[in-house]
Amino acid sequence: MKKERLDCEVIQDLLPLYEDECCSERSKILVEEHLKYCKVCQEKRANFQKEFSTLMIEDSVDKKVIKKGIRKIKMIGVIGLSVLLVCFSFVFIVTPIRNYQKGRGITYVNLKELYVARQFMKSVKDKNYEKAYRYLDIKGEYDKVIAREKELDKGKEEEQAQIEGIQKLKEKGFAWYDKVSREEFIKNMKSLEETGFNISNYFYDRISEGVNEWYVYFDIETENGSRLRFSMHVTNDGINYYYKSGLKTEDKKIRAQLKEAKKYLTICYRMPTDLNEEVLEVLYGKDADWWKIYITHNYQK
């Protein structure tokens, strides 16, 4: 009896392997021989086969559900990706093309100019004036002044004086022009810093196309709480012109300061080549002061 029970336990342990056809040939023969006469193990096998069949059905159903779920997820993924691609195409392809056609907004042809403008603003905000200066097209400004010589008439006394001034500038060379412009720029920025009119924050507004250049506009906040509109003209070579074009503040005291500081801000928020006394002295000699007043007056209009 003990041996039979032991045999049954062994056979019942082998049943799962037997049904899966994973047992050895010898074990298979042993199980089959035992099942011929053992009613208990026959019943166990029948129960096992029922359970196994149920599990197979459930497994099949689960697989179908899983496959269906995977198909849904794939479909949602494809739809989502399609929507994303459409949005991407609109933002990065259609919009820049439309902006280019309209001559305003970010396009593929003005990314460099926009980058230069932003880097200039960031450098000024960070008070890294040497770096900010490098974004200015000082060489372009120098070349424009030199090119004016061809447009002037030597027969006219006034224009002859300007020709002589340009020739003096040529003698001094670009290195000198660049040096005094850098000094003027840093002096202006430091002066703004001392009075609280330096940039504490800036916000990109828009970009529009000009003649061989792009106009980039920012709203800026100064450390003393005023708000200015800041505009610049940018080409592939850098910034060739910038200026403040508006003053706003809610503070009455600062508003009064702004009125008094209008001329001062006009000078400081300008290209360092425009109102550079050393450059004007070389170009216009004894008339340098008159030219400075004339240029400043035009800037304030």
Q: Which residues contact 10 (CB under 8 A, 6 or more apart)?
A: none
C-alpha distances out from residue 229 to 89, 121, 220, 257, 261, Å = 33, 13, 6, 17, 15
C-alpha distances out from residue 55 to 52, 60, 62, 200, Å = 5, 8, 10, 71
Yes or no: say if 241 and 214 are a contact pair by the CB < 8 Å rule: no
**Cβ neighbours around 74 below 10 Å, total:** 10
Which one has a higher pLDDT value, 10 or 109? 10
Q: At what angle do helices 288-299 and 252-268 cross, to 10 degrees?
A: 130
CA atoms within 13 A on the CB side of 264: 16
3-state secondary structure of 2: helix
Is 0.75 topped by the overall pTM?
Answer: no
Per DSSP, what are the bridge partners of residue 214?
Answer: 209, 234
The structural domains of the chain, with segments of one domain joined by +, span 1-102, 111-299
**Cβ neighbours around 210 below 10 Å, total:** 12
In which element (H, E) is residue 220 found? strand 214-222
Confidence class for position 175, pLDDT limits 50, 70, 90: very high
- For 71-88, write each residue's pLDDT tens digit: 777 777 777 777 776 665
| pLDDT, averaged across the chain | 77
Residue given tokens 């006469």 in the structure block: 37
12 has a pLDDT exceeding 70:
yes
- For 260-282, write each residue's pLDDT tens digit: 566 667 667 778 887 778 888 88
Confidence class for position 2, pLDDT limits 50, 70, 90: very low
C-alpha distances out from residue 169 to 75, 117, 174, 278, 296, Å = 71, 29, 8, 10, 22
Alpha helices in the chain, H assignment, sequence order:
2-19, 25-37, 39-89, 95-102, 111-125, 129-133, 138-147, 157-195, 252-268, 277-284, 288-299
Q: Collect contacts of 10-19 with beta carbons under 8 A, ≥24 apart.
A: 11/35, 11/38, 11/41, 12/41, 12/44, 15/41, 15/44, 15/45, 15/48, 16/48, 19/45, 19/48, 19/49, 19/52
- For 191-229, write each residue's pLDDT tens digit: 888 888 888 999 998 888 888 898 999 988 888 877 888
67 has a pLDDT exceeding 80:
no
Q: What is the reported pLDDT for 118?
A: 92
- DSSP assignment, residue 108? T
Q: Minimal CA–CA distance to 269: which of 210, 229, 212?
A: 229
C-alpha distances out from residue 284 to 140, 152, 217, 299, Å = 20, 14, 33, 19
3-state secondary structure of 192: helix
116 has a pLDDT exceeding 90:
yes
How many whole angstroms separate alpha carbon 81 and alpha carbon 102? 30
- For 224-263, write each residue's pLDDT tens digit: 877 888 889 998 889 998 888 666 656 666 666 666 566 6
